[in-house]
Amino acid sequence: MVKKMTKKQRAAEIVKLLAQHYEASCSLVAQKDYELLFATRLSAQCTDARVNIVTAELFSRWPTLQSIADADLEDLMETVKTCGLFRTKATDIKKCANVLLASYDGKVPDDLEELLKLPGVGRKTANLILGDLYGKPAIVADTHCIRISGRLGLTDSKDPYQVELQLKKIIAPAEQNDFCHRLVHFGRDICTARSPKCTECFLSDLCPSVGK
């Protein structure tokens, strides 16, 4: 039986319980602002574990933003090939490096609209950068976030933008970024895409989808 409370109250309780079980950590390894940006671009339809293997070679071979901008595109493609969609991803990374140098003094911008102007950068990537690099309120509507927030009854859409907007209304701004990171860990651990472990779930009293 799901506890009776408003959606905002339920969201706050979920945020609290997730914080008790998981660290709010990004799985992608990056030392510089542009490294996180490019790692996030590579993570589309690819596991973070694979991305970390690829970026270790990528950022070792081309250790500066300028060197990435000047890199041979075929070499870049070959390096990121195992991430999938490698032609598009490599092209976006090279173009993005050039744009950052030409228009942003080599610095990743801290504004959503400016981030969305960068080649290959969508709202998911932009929000992760805003939250992780700049500590701004941001909802990263990735597959875990969309699936789990829907199951928990916090959202009623599978469209990433709509999920982002709905969660922003009920998750406290200071909690938004950490909430999304914890959902990733929770989604891998308990609320998996197939066969979620409802009987082991510490959110079962707050979830209308238990056992369904």
Residues marked as catalytic: 124, 142
Contacts of 9 (CB under 8 A, 6+ apart): none
**What is the DSSP track for the chain?**
-PPP--HHHHHHHHHHHHHHH-----SS--SSHHHHHHHHHHTTTS-HHHHHHHHHHHHHHS-SHHHHHHS-HHHHHHHTGGGSSHHHHHHHHHHHHHHHHHHSTT---SSHHHHTTSTT--HHHHHHHHHHHH--------HHHHHHHHHTTS-----HHHHHHHHHHHS-GGGHHHHHHHHHHHHHHTS-SSS--GGG-TTGGG-TTTT-
CA distances from 98 to 41, 126, 190, 192, 199 (A): 15, 18, 41, 39, 50
Integer-rounded Cα Rg, in Å, for the chain is: 18
